[in-house]
Structure 1
Amino acid sequence: MTGYGTSSALLEAARSWRPRLLAERDRSEALRRLPDALARDLAEAGFFGIFLPQAYGGVDLTPMQAMAVFEELARADASVAWCVWNGNTHWVTAQLPAETARTIHAAPAIITANSTRASGRARLVEGGYRVSGRWALVSGCHLASWLVLLAVVHDGDKPRLTAAGAPETRFMLVPASECRIIDTWTVSGLRGTGSHDVVVDDRFVPQGHTASFTDPYVLADPRYRIPPFSKVIPGLGAMALGIACNAIETLIEIASEKVPQRTSQSLRENHGAQLRVSQAESLVRSARLYLLDSLQQLWSALLDGRGVTMQARAQARLAASHAVANAAQAVDLMYGAAGATALYTTCPLERAFRDVHAITQHIGVNPRVMESTGRVLLGLESDTPLL
């Protein structure tokens, strides 16, 4: 993979991309997906290799380094950040047969899209599976060369059960050429992510192109044993904080020029606006510190061989939910402070309002998550394997 080999270089690259991302935002919204050239250039720069193992040509950043890049991209365009984040989930790459992983990522600038909704059926056949199904919300599906789709394994007409009695699921790696995209993404927030439905009609997937969270690890480094949802879900918080940073910057610009109706004072001299911008700034900064601290503690324990406790997992998930909630509150404060100016699509606050509230709808930060983390904090067993 060409591009940037260090975290600082990739973060600086994200900052240098800001003018182009701002210039292409309206086009992405009109297309309801990222333009092909933009996605290709992002991939060639290394952004879709943030979490890809070095063994397969990736940049292989730590979670903390990745959060900084996701946040920076979201300051310019949340849809770009979302597609980059979603293309970096790499849920089971460290558990795939090495030959399969090298085949998929052999060419530079490969983009994958995925769905963790087990809405497909994988029927056991000789040498692999016959896969059919329809998956919703497959962000960046138009950009991808491969689709990584979760399916329920069927032996004949019945789901195959795990030792715990639950239906067995596996990720199926399907070439994009064997999938159909159904245009469903007509939405308000994150409009440029192209999160359409994807259909697979009775396609053969070899056994070696499948994997599950419970498969043995092919890559031995402890860094690849980070719980997948502890690595991926915090990105939602980072992106939401990037949107909030942009909202604060926008309000500051507006406040320097706007004189609200029925007053002679500029908006920045208004006590209410001053209070709101202080509240928003403190919400963002405190949430960022908690998010990074929770990840740093989890990561250090993992690399030191101490193992990742359920408490550490709960803290990382709680920090992600907290960051999204704080960011949404900060954006709402800035939106309210700007008055009618924020209503216009030419105002970045209008887009920030739509995008941050779209992130709040992701299942990874659903309020139910905080019930699960609360159980752990109270000394009870987790009620979900997703922690």
Structure 2
Amino acid sequence: MNRIDYGDDWKAGVLGLFDGPDTELRTHDAMAALLRELRKRKVFSMLAETRERSPAPLALAAEVVEAGARFDGSLGWLLVTGICTTFSLRVAEAFPEAFSSGEYAASVFRAGTATAHRDAEGYRISGKWRFCTGASFADWIAVGVNLYEGDKPVLSSSGKPKTAMAILPQKEVRILDTAETIGLGLSETRDIALENARVPPSWVGTNPFSLYRPFFVLWTGFAALGIARAALDGWKASLARNAGRRERAATEFARAEAAWRAARAYAYGAIPWVEEATARARFDEREVRDAALPTANAAVTAKNIVHAAFYGAGSSSVFVANRMARISNDALTMLHHISLGEDVLEHAGKGLLES
């Protein structure tokens, strides 16, 4: 059996893609070309076990996400969503097509008002979903849906409507021109829509979020750490050009560096037990809270570092052409994700106080 070796050579080859002459990606075509190279190296399916490959360690995937975000915020976010979505397609044997024709998948796991009506031929899927990251780059798109039998909603044992995940070939999804965010502009985060699309029963299966919550909660923190590292790098480079400012900023820069290292160590320290919970696909709320703490801490630390770096780098940061301005916008945009907001810290804190 031909298995991919996720060893040092593979890692060096992937991370080497982020060390090109350009310090970041500036065009859609440049991003698309880089994603093609990542596809060739099976980066997006690195956590998905198939007949042809064993999964890579979570820590290695975290390093790839962090390095990608350090290179370019949009790339880091595409890596987070792409790796997580492709991983999620392994949760059941319901999605074999996703591994036979495509490497990169985008997703919107929330169902909203989207529906999947079961009939004798399979499912009819309709809906509109917001914030589908990487939609125009994807081979497949995974979406959350509310299940119906005929015209009646399927209910769980608790009486709530049941949700599932459906996969769709990207070419069948209508991608709406809604990419107007202030940051992560090259992540192609768009709204998507579908009307009465027919899919076979094997394309609808378990929603992975219900099975792997600690995994999904933890993951976004590594992109935040990568963006924070890029801000520190940019800040340091600006200080190298101004001796007076460098002397005044030394203490503040040291505090920011120490905070980044501490947040990074905390996030990576959570990987072993999250990996174990992922393998058994079973967890309790304490484990979700314990995954939320390093994630939210990474996000808050990143926000503070980017803020300090933006002002510490001087007035040139305010220009659109300056990389620090784009790093700042990327960080602000990323922090609106549900797993990175400060309400995650509030939820974790309440749980800690009640335990």
Does 1:39 find its partner at 2:35?
A: yes
From 268, 272, 288, the counterpart of 1:292: 268
Does 1:353 find its partner at 2:348?
A: no
Relative to structure 1, the CA distance from residue 351 to residue 249 in structure 2 (aligned partners, 3 Å threshold; closer, same or farther) is same
Q: Report the counterpart of residue 13 of structure 2 in structure 1.
A: 13
Classify the secondary structure of the residue corresponding to 1:351.
helix
Classify the secondary structure of the residue corresponding to 1:320.
helix
Residue 180 of structure 1 and its aligned partner are, at CA, apart by: 0.7
From 313, 319, 323, the counterpart of 1:344: 319
Does 1:209 find its partner at 2:187?
A: no
Classify the secondary structure of the residue corresponding to 1:49.
coil
Which residues of 2 match residues 101-120 of structure 1 at below 5 A?
101=96, 103-107=97-101, 110-119=103-112, 120=114
Q: Deviations over 1:56-92 (max 9, x none)?
A: x456222222111110111111111211221111364
Q: Report the counterpart of residue 136 of structure 1 in structure 2.
A: 130
From 45, 50, 60, the counterpart of 1:49: 45
Give the TM-score, by structure 1 length.
Answer: 0.83
User: Conserved in 1, the CA contact under 8 Å of 2:300 and 2:342?
Assistant: no
User: Conserved in 1, the CA contact under 8 Å of 2:23 and 2:71?
Assistant: no
Q: Report the counterpart of residue 239 of structure 2 in structure 1.
A: 255
Moved more, 199-208 or 34-43: 34-43
The count of residues paired between Structure 1 and Structure 2 equals 352
Relative to structure 1, the CA distance from residue 200 to residue 307 in structure 2 (aligned partners, 3 Å threshold; closer, same or farther) is closer
Q: Deviations over 1:26-81 (max 9, x none)?
A: 113xx7xx6433221221122212222243x4562222221111101111111112
What is the one-letter code of the residue matched to 1:241?
A: L
Relative to structure 1, the CA distance from residue 375 to residue 93 in structure 2 (aligned partners, 3 Å threshold; closer, same or farther) is same
Q: Report the counterpart of residue 213 of structure 2 in structure 1.
A: 229
Classify the secondary structure of the residue corresponding to 1:110.
coil
User: Conserved in 2, the CA contact under 8 Å of 1:92 and 1:211?
Assistant: no
Q: Once the two structures are aligned, what percentage of the paired residues are identical?
A: 23
Distance 1:68 1:378 in 2: 32
Does 1:86 find its partner at 2:70?
A: no
Which residues of 2 match residues 293-332 of structure 1 at below 5 A?
293-300=269-276, 308-332=283-307
Distance 1:48 1:367 in 2: 28
Does 1:74 find its partner at 2:69?
A: yes
From 242, 245, 254, the counterpart of 2:229: 245
What is the one-letter code of the residue matched to 1:169?
A: T
Relative to structure 1, the CA distance from residue 302 to residue 234 in structure 2 (aligned partners, 3 Å threshold; closer, same or farther) is closer
Classify the secondary structure of the residue corresponding to 1:234.
helix
Give the TM-score, by structure 2 length.
Answer: 0.90
Does 1:184 find its partner at 2:184?
A: no
User: Conserved in 1, the CA contact under 8 Å of 2:260 and 2:302?
Assistant: yes
User: Conserved in 2, the CA contact under 8 Å of 1:251 and 1:338?
Assistant: yes
Distance 2:117 2:233 in 1: 52
What is the one-letter code of the residue matched to 2:228?
A: A
From 267, 283, 289, the counterpart of 2:245: 267
Relative to structure 1, the CA distance from residue 79 to residue 21 in structure 2 (aligned partners, 3 Å threshold; closer, same or farther) is farther
Which residues of 2 match residues 167-178 of structure 1 at below 5 A?
167-178=161-172
Relative to structure 1, the CA distance from residue 235 to residue 307 in structure 2 (aligned partners, 3 Å threshold; closer, same or farther) is closer
Distance 2:163 2:210 in 1: 20
Q: Which runs of 5+ in 2 are unaligned?
A: none
User: Conserved in 2, the CA contact under 8 Å of 1:234 and 1:317?
Assistant: yes
- Alpha carbon RMSD of aligned pairs, Å? 2.6
Relative to structure 1, the CA distance from residue 234 to residue 121 in structure 2 (aligned partners, 3 Å threshold; closer, same or farther) is same
Residue 3 of structure 1 and its aligned partner are, at CA, apart by: 10
User: Conserved in 1, the CA contact under 8 Å of 2:121 and 2:200?
Assistant: yes
User: Conserved in 1, the CA contact under 8 Å of 2:115 and 2:148?
Assistant: yes
User: Conserved in 2, the CA contact under 8 Å of 1:301 and 1:308?
Assistant: yes
Distance 2:261 2:7 in 1: 21
User: Conserved in 2, the CA contact under 8 Å of 1:81 and 1:239?
Assistant: yes
Distance 1:306 1:156 in 2: 31
Residue 267 of structure 1 and its aligned partner are, at CA, apart by: 1.8
What is the one-letter code of the residue matched to 1:142?
A: S
User: Conserved in 1, the CA contact under 8 Å of 2:78 and 2:187?
Assistant: yes
Distance 1:42 1:256 in 2: 33
Q: Report the counterpart of residue 166 of structure 1 in structure 2.
A: 160
Relative to structure 1, the CA distance from residue 22 to residue 184 in structure 2 (aligned partners, 3 Å threshold; closer, same or farther) is same
What is the one-letter code of the residue matched to 2:191?
A: D
Classify the secondary structure of the residue corresponding to 1:96.
coil
Distance 2:5 2:103 in 1: 17
Relative to structure 1, the CA distance from residue 332 to residue 24 in structure 2 (aligned partners, 3 Å threshold; closer, same or farther) is closer
Q: Deviations over 1:87-117 (max 9, x none)?
A: 111364233326x42x32124x521111012
Q: Deviations over 1:279-332 (max 9, x none)?
A: 2111111111111112223335666x7964432331111110110110111111
Classify the secondary structure of the residue corresponding to 2:183.
coil
Moved more, 114-123 or 371-380: 371-380
Residue 21 of structure 1 and its aligned partner are, at CA, apart by: 8.2
Distance 1:20 1:141 in 2: 25
Q: Which runs of 5+ in 1 are unaligned?
A: 215-224, 259-264, 381-387
Distance 1:358 1:307 in 2: 31
Moved more, 118-127 or 196-205: 118-127
Distance 2:281 2:336 in 1: 34
